[in-house]
Structure 1
Amino acid sequence: MALIVKKSPAKINLMLRIVGQRDNGYHELQSCFEILPWGDEMTFKTLSATQASVNISGFDEIASEDNLIYHAAELLKPYAQKICAIDIHVDKQIPSGAGLGGGSSNAATTLLTLNNIWQCHLDENTLLEMALRLGADVPFFVTGQSALVTGIGEHIEPMRFYRGYVLLLFPSVSIGTKDVFQHPELNRQQTPLSTPYLTDTDFWINDCFPVVLQAYPEVSKIFSVLSSDMLLRLSGTGSTLFALFNNKSEALKQQKIATAYCRTKLIEI
């Protein structure tokens, strides 16, 4: 038996533009993904067994067969050269439906870790193809670094967009990606940015933000109370609001104010 502990990081979308929609319904995106030095902790315990199987714990409301971790393992099973069962426990820190990529990150961490434990010997390109089958954000987490992500998540260009302090605000609501993308008032014809503008914070918009403010009063309330003190943005299609600061003391000041209304987390990136 062996224990392997991995960090499964969160992300924020500094920008999320929906620049089109394909005939199959998938949305074409242009997004600035910034990976965070914070997230879930995943523990992989190898067991003696005659088959490659996984047991998942740490989730109260998700059946194992509905978990992206399970689906990631299922994709790898046919390639396993070293057969053993795995217990996977997730210490969840990233809220569900928060727009921080928790489930996608868990899936990517599973692909990378089980590829080694089961000695699948799959290269990164093959893992990226598998990742895209699991979800649009999963390939980004396989690469493990901040990047410009386009297409339906398959085009990943590593780059850094911001250094400073990120204040995360967690409204008490979980938002499903599908619900946001199916909203009739979602802008699906945004203009993509050319490269020189990608790091210009004035152009960091999220096309999902107006829809979320309209449909989810828990998010709208916190935004209306705190947006006069700091510039609030939305991460992905979830409920997490965030603000960026160059000054730590100002970030701490705003965090103290925001804590009266919701759970918060301050991170330096």
Structure 2
Amino acid sequence: MSVSKIKSHAKINLALNVTGKLTKLHKIESIIAFIELHDLITLKSTKNLKHVIRFNGKFSKNIKKNNTVQKLFNILDEQKLLNNKKFQVKITKNIPQKAGLGGGSMNAASILNFLIRKKFIKLNQKKTFKITSLIGSDVILGINPTSTVLRSNNTLKKFFKCPRLYTLLVKPSFGCSTKKIYSKVKRFTKSKFNNPKKNMFRSDFLISQNNSLEKIAISKYPKLKKIKSFLGALKNPLFVRMTGSGSVIIGYYQSKQDCELAKVQFKRKFKDYWCNTSKTI
């Protein structure tokens, strides 16, 4: 098998509501998009007795041995779905960790997509959902990634050819622990997205929404409020919002020019923060 290259795109929450709690996990609903920013995965078969998984790149430090990709291959081996085939995997990490961008989860989803598409494994929808759930609750979002509404009952509605937005992503020097942010949730929001429509991806709808985890993250990390206020005061952002449980704050723009100008202005003020312009896909 020749080397295959896979783009693993970052996931962003355009809007997010926490609507309740199950035994362990919270119930959420979200409007989700994917952006051009991606990790690059190279994958090829190997004669080794074990899968070989390596990470490199700017955001490859401190990735645990029991990471999402390792979990995926462990599950596939345990269920004998790969017929004893082993793979060598190298992942160049361009997506920061603890950012709310789903980098690790999307890595696992992207590899699973590839293995299904290339017919290394055969899975029906129910089995795919079961495997992704064993890895992480948001991995299912990266299966056939496109604009998606996650309903509060944990079902997905996918949409195609949605309006595109330019994005300015900013991450301070710290990350947010998803577990810690959710542990502070005390109030739940009434479901708003249980009847998904394509117009939910229009900027005029998104402007009126929010991320209900944002206030919690800002109360714990006041620097996030400073970032949001600065981005909001720049020229022509449609809206500014945290993605997921943070710590990335995103400014959304209709114009690429406005987005790039905002990046220049932000970097003048916050020289040490990670900053990236991208676009929804």
TM-score by length of 2: 0.85
Q: Identify the residue that residue 12 of structure 2 maps to in structure 1.
A: 12
Match of 1:55 among 53, 56, 77: 53
1:267 paired with 2:278, answer yes
Q: Which runs of 5+ in 1 are unaligned?
A: none
Contact 1:52 1:80 in 2 (8 A): no
Q: Identify the residue that residue 138 of structure 1 maps to in structure 2.
A: 139
Q: Identify the residue that residue 230 of structure 2 maps to in structure 1.
A: 225
Deviations 1:112-170 (A, max 9, x none): 23456782222343222211222221101012111001237x41100255422111112
Aligned identity (percent) is: 22
Contact 1:16 1:205 in 2 (8 A): yes
| Residue-pair matches, total | 264
- The one-letter amino acid paired with 1:95 is P
The alignment partner of 1:226 has SS state of: helix
- The one-letter amino acid paired with 2:258 is E
Deviation at 1:177, TM superposition (A): 0.8
1:3 paired with 2:3, answer yes
Q: Identify the residue that residue 210 of structure 2 maps to in structure 1.
A: 205
The alignment partner of 1:198 has SS state of: helix
Q: Identify the residue that residue 27 of structure 2 maps to in structure 1.
A: 28
Q: Identify the residue that residue 129 of structure 1 maps to in structure 2.
A: 130
Contact 1:54 1:70 in 2 (8 A): no
Deviations 1:53-91 (A, max 9, x none): 343333321232x20100011111123354332221110
Q: Identify the residue that residue 150 of structure 1 maps to in structure 2.
A: 151
Deviation at 1:251, TM superposition (A): 1.6
**How far apart, in 2, do the equivalents of 1:116 and 1:159 lie?**
20
Q: Which runs of 5+ in 2 are unaligned?
A: none
Contact 2:55 2:93 in 1 (8 A): no
> Structure 1 residues 195, 106: CA separation in 2 closer, same or farther (over 3 Å shift)?
closer
Contact 1:13 1:31 in 2 (8 A): yes
Q: Identify the residue that residue 243 of structure 1 maps to in structure 2.
A: 251
Q: Identify the residue that residue 263 of structure 2 maps to in structure 1.
A: 255
Judge which range, 113-122 or 253-262, deviates more.
113-122
Judge which range, 84-93 or 232-241, deviates more.
84-93
Deviation at 1:246, TM superposition (A): 1.1
Deviation at 1:5, TM superposition (A): 1.0
Moved over 6 A (4+): none
Deviation at 1:6, TM superposition (A): 0.4
> Structure 1 residues 52, 112: CA separation in 2 closer, same or farther (over 3 Å shift)?
farther
Give the aligned CA root-mean-square deviation in angstroms: 2.3
- The one-letter amino acid paired with 1:37 is E
Deviations 1:11-31 (A, max 9, x none): 111100111112x03211110
Contact 2:10 2:38 in 1 (8 A): yes
TM-score by length of 1: 0.88
- The one-letter amino acid paired with 2:277 is L
**How far apart, in 2, do the equivalents of 1:9 and 1:124 lie?**
21
